[in-house]
Structure 1
């Protein structure tokens, strides 16, 4: 199904945008002549999601229409550039609020992760975020550490050392978690928030509901969320809407760490054939929700969602990932009745300096505004960057070619980069008897692009897999391996084919019924024996059933081994030049 998109700022030229901003900053609002209806009151909601501690430009781009029937890759992201983009939108909206839909921290760049994402919180404080829904990755270090990120202080909850560079004051914004409760039934964080604009009869109040996706326990190591309960998303939202209305909310906005994907040509303001787990939630909403700011899938879209006749039209947005986009939402209210008259949105590309990708140079585009880094945020990031340089720049090996991060619609696959990482984990666990290793492609976070002489640094491999997962080796039968691989291809959730280690080949056909899409599995050229027991290595996230692969939880005779990042470093450094795997280990029948 296709939903109308609502286009906004990205299609404006730089000169036109500058003129609009200048006019907004210098032109006072005219008084209404006697007897003429007052102009609508406008409120700007500025939204981001899935920042993931991207302090520096992530060397990634936004694919967008170029206005001439084609598309262009626009380099984007970085905390200081994001701050400038948000400031430009604040200049457009005298009344504004900055919100986020989760995963602002964790799975972060090294300069943030080394310091337990304290600098990511520091950047978000400077950007001016006011409310953030708790995402799944924000539980990666446990809910106690997440509370420290909210409240500040230097309590040690993890292997890492807190407060290494500064006395951490915590987030100035509020985490919202309406669907998450502690073991005693009390809320982990508040579920809702209110912000008002104006005074007296002119006061307009926005109500916010923030919540995680209910499948957080399948996406985070179990001990990190032990005892927490994650309620149904739609039921939670429907419960909170009347409460916000009773508290005076003139409009209700949901910040939810769940999302969807669109099909066809890339368009950050498009909404073509929207699919994903956000849709069943929207389809069950009662009336009262006006805007849903979403995340989690790292997809960008702007939709006028009309598939649920009971709720009425809902403006649905997502700003992608890594601060490469920021969503500009405009709400217009009748000043007399406070009724919401209109709502529209557009994703603004946070264009930052060009870079060299695995496929070549990505240059700046004159078709979109190019932002300059905000000085205070740039200086703050530089402090953490300099403190981590001794690790970031350390060479770990040499690679024969650049390896892109596989992107696109359809079944997610790890490609050659996924194969390389799987090979490294197999090598690291041979002593535990490992014969096979698998890697989930959603665990690959960046491309691996060596220098001209092939040199790869620690900072680069950390960007590829920043989770510090342990590798677990277990015993599974061939039948269990097959059924577990099928879980990644079934119709329940996002589809992914695990990247296998060398010697293994898994063929699949998505035209076949769910549960029977694997057509062949071979190891060293021989069919996998359903009755035979094999030693299989995966990271502890998968070993505990993460990403919906509950089959790995059945594994027996478990041995915990190296950290995934250490395994990749050892694999790259074991030979003078590591050749990239070129074979297709997961062929799809089309």
Structure 2
């Protein structure tokens, strides 16, 4: 059905005929074919969007496909829906994206809409440096000079291809103002696309007859919205979105619509508001992986029918011609220059920072790595330097890590080495998501059945602590998540610094798609480079950030660890040493690498493994257990001495068993991922105070249910299971998940309220009998892992 009953040219001809019949009978009637493309004329529109300078990855393949298709239709326009540059890979970004512009010039790009990334370095850079390098027009009908309705950029371009005149209108998403640095766009503002589109169409229709185009094509850097799964055109049009407004309400005079920005791939025929006909709506995905193709055929009356609407994979072409060879030459030159600049030193590392490895040295994406966690730290830091609000923490995926950082003699790190780690130039941004969905992310580390990798270990920034149980059933494996030492709130919104790949649900992390994405206007490599420039020398953090209780030697009852008073009560005379002991019973030989640390109030001295020398030691002493634990009993003496200046009263001593921080190779095979702390409350009396009482004091840390029975002595146990006490002449206490017999209730990943251990040493109770305070160990699933947490006291 024709767009106009008489066609754009025919309507003008009738007007001229009427006027002429009144004035000059001899005036000839104008043939509509003189102002409209003849019937059967073909117009081919080839298009890209969101190319982002991927010249090394796809420019040659793109050139081959463009040139091959040009040979099939003589009237061919090559266009872009924006984001040709910005968020580019190193070969292009290292040279200000000029190689990308040079390649698009070689391909004779006819016109392009501006994308938000064209404004990454500000309006002046776009209208100056970028525009002067480009042989094509950058269009932005809805980009206005601040406070006016006057366009700051050309709203349209008139392009002649073969025998057809095409008007190309460009618009950009109104969200651009929040996606780039405000300082670079102070003199402009972004309006709604549709009013700008329709106003531009009116201007085109008001042109003199001889200047009017045969067809109007819209390049809109605003596409179908993100979703958890691919959606239909009907579902997209039902949404209140910028894309739906463009497709439904753009002037009926627009013959074809290309979109961008959302990196989605589709080729639809959308209904036009003026009747029962349709017009094509296409987006190619991203990075030149596809070439959008629309072939229009003229009806001879100013209207066009779409004969072809599809996306062509660029990798499928092997075509070559002089233009393709020119693109290859530009790329080779750019790669050579990038290699030269890539040798520039950015910073340094103190030792290797690597991806996780399997036992045979191959990359292991299913295990925690110092490199993955460091990248997450850098992503979080990168948001701090961007125009958007800060993130609470950072998360990255193991598949995005493509190389290790190796010390190699001097520890220097170059641009090229950093780029080799993160070569994909993912856009860096923030996903705002509920705490419950953050928990869901960690559940999704266990991939769907049939996946090539059953488990993908997320890299997380230092603000996060995660405890999971790999032996638990699906959907219930996450034990706890902490943010800055506090249990995550399932209903609170958290800002997560991450990559565009993950934000769109990549690697089956669909929980990200339940949140809202904000683009920072930069790429992961920029944040990564800036992090090294600011933080060098950089060291790997070998402290585990995700812990698996299924491997824990205490939770699995391979080790029972206690601190005892060696036959004396914890009543200590000021200035006099008191003897304690660390006792550990192992069911098998356990590897080395453990540390026992003691903390006490000011004025106390504690010596571990050196009886009688406590006067020379300070509180906070630690002792390594170089031989690990042998099967059976393992004992280490401890001497505690309150100084003469310590006032009489009750004091708390704390002993912590942990894996040494430098035991990075353990990580997901960590035998003690959840360090334990036990507290002993002691009474200090004057040197001539009451004598020792009979009986002993003991504290234990266990990973199982415990039952105590005391007669003439006191025992305290803290564990990850249920505890029952029976006392005859004594007292027994147990702590699980809360304070003083209180069980903490948390919400699991599937929304159920249930008792969950917390990250951090959740509980450490002091139990008493007849005024003598005794020890209680830490819950088996509870930890104190962050290096910035205080030692001593109760760690929550």
The TM-score with structure 2 as length reference comes to 0.46
Match of residue 703 from structure 2: none
Q: Shift in Å at residue 194 of structure 1?
A: 1.8
Q: Shift in Å at residue 485 of structure 1?
A: 4.5
- Are residue 213 (structure 1) and residue 173 (structure 2) matched? yes
C-alpha deviations, 1:135-175, integer Å up to 9, x for none?
000100011011124442xxxxxxxxxxxxxxxxx100111
Output the CA distance in 2 between the equivalents of 1:499 and 1:306. Answer: 45
Q: How does 1:347-366 map to 2 (within 5 A)?
A: 347-351=311-315
Output the CA distance in 2 between the equivalents of 1:416 and 1:310. Answer: 60
- Whether the 8 Å CA contact 1:422–1:437 is kept in 2: the answer is no
Q: Shift in Å at residue 106 of structure 1?
A: 0.9
RMSD between superposed Cα atoms in Å: 5.1
Aligned length in residues = 429
Q: Work out which of the residue numbers 172, 175, 180 in structure 1 matches 2:138.
A: 175
Match of residue 78 from structure 2: 98
Output the CA distance in 2 between the equivalents of 1:487 and 1:135. Answer: 33
Match of residue 788 from structure 2: none
Q: Work out which of the residue numbers 318, 331, 354 in structure 2 matches 1:399.
A: 354
C-alpha deviations, 1:56-115, integer Å up to 9, x for none?
01xxxxxxxxxxxxxxxxxxxx21221111101101111111100000011111121122
Q: How does 1:371-450 map to 2 (within 5 A)?
A: 374-392=324-342, 398-401=353-356, 420-424=374-378, 437-439=392-394, 447-450=400-403
Output the CA distance in 1 between the equivalents of 2:42 and 2:335. Answer: 39
Output the CA distance in 2 between the equivalents of 1:244 and 1:576. Answer: 61
- Whether the 8 Å CA contact 2:405–2:417 is kept in 1: the answer is no
Q: Shift in Å at residue 243 of structure 1?
A: 2.0
Match of residue 101 from structure 2: 121
- Whether the 8 Å CA contact 2:354–2:370 is kept in 1: the answer is no
Q: 1:115 to 1:580 in 2, by over 3 A?
A: farther
- Whether the 8 Å CA contact 1:399–1:572 is kept in 2: the answer is no
Q: Work out which of the residue numbers 135, 139, 159 in structure 1 matches 2:115.
A: 135
- Whether the 8 Å CA contact 2:115–2:261 is kept in 1: the answer is yes
Q: Work out which of the residue numbers 242, 245, 256 in structure 2 matches 1:291.
A: 256
- Whether the 8 Å CA contact 2:122–2:184 is kept in 1: the answer is yes
- Whether the 8 Å CA contact 1:420–1:580 is kept in 2: the answer is no
Q: Shift in Å at residue 391 of structure 1?
A: 4.5
Q: Work out which of the residue numbers 339, 344, 347 in structure 1 matches 2:303.
A: 339
Q: 1:252 to 1:428 in 2, by over 3 A?
A: closer
Match of residue 191 from structure 1: 155
Q: 1:563 to 1:94 in 2, by over 3 A?
A: closer
C-alpha deviations, 1:336-386, integer Å up to 9, x for none?
4343133422211111xxxxxxxxxxxxxxxx4445692211111111211
Q: 1:314 to 1:171 in 2, by over 3 A?
A: same
- Are residue 259 (structure 1) and residue 239 (structure 2) matched? no
Output the CA distance in 2 between the equivalents of 1:39 and 1:429. Answer: 55
Q: How does 1:503-514 map to 2 (within 5 A)?
A: 503-504=463-464
Q: Shift in Å at residue 179 of structure 1?
A: 0.6
- Are residue 241 (structure 1) and residue 201 (structure 2) matched? yes
Match of residue 475 from structure 1: none
Q: Could you list the runs of 5+ residues in structure 2 that have no partner in the other structure? A: 1-37, 357-362, 385-389, 409-415, 438-457, 468-479, 499-515, 521-525, 549-747, 752-796
Q: Shift in Å at residue 214 of structure 1?
A: 0.9
Q: Shift in Å at residue 420 of structure 1?
A: 4.6
Q: Shift in Å at residue 242 of structure 1?
A: 2.3
Output the CA distance in 1 between the equivalents of 2:259 and 2:88. Answer: 19
Output the CA distance in 2 between the equivalents of 1:265 and 1:538. Answer: 22
- Whether the 8 Å CA contact 1:416–1:581 is kept in 2: the answer is no
Q: Secondary structure at the match of 1:252?
A: strand
Q: 1:522 to 1:582 in 2, by over 3 A?
A: closer
Match of residue 55 from structure 2: 55
Match of residue 3 from structure 1: none
Output the CA distance in 1 between the equivalents of 2:370 and 2:282. Answer: 32
Q: Shift in Å at residue 525 of structure 1?
A: 5.4
Q: Secondary structure at the match of 2:71?
A: helix
C-alpha deviations, 1:397-433, integer Å up to 9, x for none?
54224699xxxxxxxxxx9998653323568999xxx
- Are residue 224 (structure 1) and residue 184 (structure 2) matched? yes
C-alpha deviations, 1:544-573, integer Å up to 9, x for none?
xxx8769x9xxxxxxxxx954232688897
Q: Shift in Å at residue 301 of structure 1?
A: 1.0
Output the CA distance in 1 between the equivalents of 2:129 and 2:290. Answer: 24
Output the CA distance in 1 between the equivalents of 2:305 and 2:537. Answer: 61
C-alpha deviations, 1:215-263, integer Å up to 9, x for none?
1111111112112111111111121122223332332211010111587
Output the CA distance in 2 between the equivalents of 1:322 and 1:195. Answer: 25
Q: Secondary structure at the match of 1:565?
A: helix
Output the CA distance in 1 between the equivalents of 2:200 and 2:419. Answer: 43
Q: Secondary structure at the match of 2:52?
A: coil
C-alpha deviations, 1:483-530, integer Å up to 9, x for none?
x646999xxxxxxxx9962343799xxxxxxxxxxxx97325533699
Output the CA distance in 2 between the equivalents of 1:184 and 1:129. Answer: 32
Output the CA distance in 2 between the equivalents of 1:370 and 1:581. Answer: 48
Match of residue 244 from structure 2: 279
Q: Shift in Å at residue 273 of structure 1?
A: 5.1
Match of residue 575 from structure 2: none
- Whether the 8 Å CA contact 2:354–2:371 is kept in 1: the answer is no
Match of residue 637 from structure 2: none
Q: Shift in Å at residue 54 of structure 1?
A: 1.0
- Whether the 8 Å CA contact 2:266–2:284 is kept in 1: the answer is yes
Output the CA distance in 1 between the equivalents of 2:147 and 2:373. Answer: 44
Output the CA distance in 2 between the equivalents of 1:386 and 1:400. Answer: 28
Q: Shift in Å at residue 462 of structure 1?
A: 5.5
- Whether the 8 Å CA contact 1:108–1:463 is kept in 2: the answer is no
Q: Shift in Å at residue 176 of structure 1?
A: 0.6
Q: Shift in Å at residue 208 of structure 1?
A: 1.4
Q: Could you list the runs of 5+ residues in structure 1 that have no partner in the other structure? A: 1-37, 58-77, 153-169, 352-367, 405-414, 470-480, 490-497, 508-519, 540-546, 553-561
Q: Shift in Å at residue 305 of structure 1?
A: 1.6
Match of residue 328 from structure 1: 293
Q: 1:429 to 1:304 in 2, by over 3 A?
A: closer
- Whether the 8 Å CA contact 2:293–2:311 is kept in 1: the answer is yes
More contact order relative to length (CA 8 Å, sep ≥ 6): 1
Output the CA distance in 2 between the equivalents of 1:429 and 1:136. Answer: 18
Q: 1:39 to 1:468 in 2, by over 3 A?
A: closer
- Whether the 8 Å CA contact 1:103–1:134 is kept in 2: the answer is yes
Larger CA Rg, structure 1 vs 2:
2
